[in-house]
Amino acid sequence: AQSVTQLDSHVSVSEGTPVLLRCNYSSSYSPSLFWYVQHPNKGLQLLLKYTSAATLVKGINGFEAEFKKSETSFHLTKPSAHMSDAAEYFCVVSGSSGTYKYIFGTGTRLKVLA
Least CB distance to other proteins at residue 77 (A): 21
> What's the Cα-to-Cα distance from 19 to each of 28, 94, 103, rounded to whole Å?
29, 24, 23
Per DSSP, what are the bridge partners of residue 74? Answer: 67
Among the listed ranges 11-19, 46-54, 57-65, 71-79, the one in contact with other proteins (CB under 8 A) is 46-54
β-strand pairing of 108-113 with 10-14: parallel
82 to 101: interface string for other proteins, x by CB under 8 A: --------x---xx----xx
Report helix, strand or coil for 25.
Answer: strand
Applying CB under 8 A, which residues contact other proteins?
A: 9, 32, 34, 36, 42-46, 49, 51, 90, 94-95, 100-102, 104-107
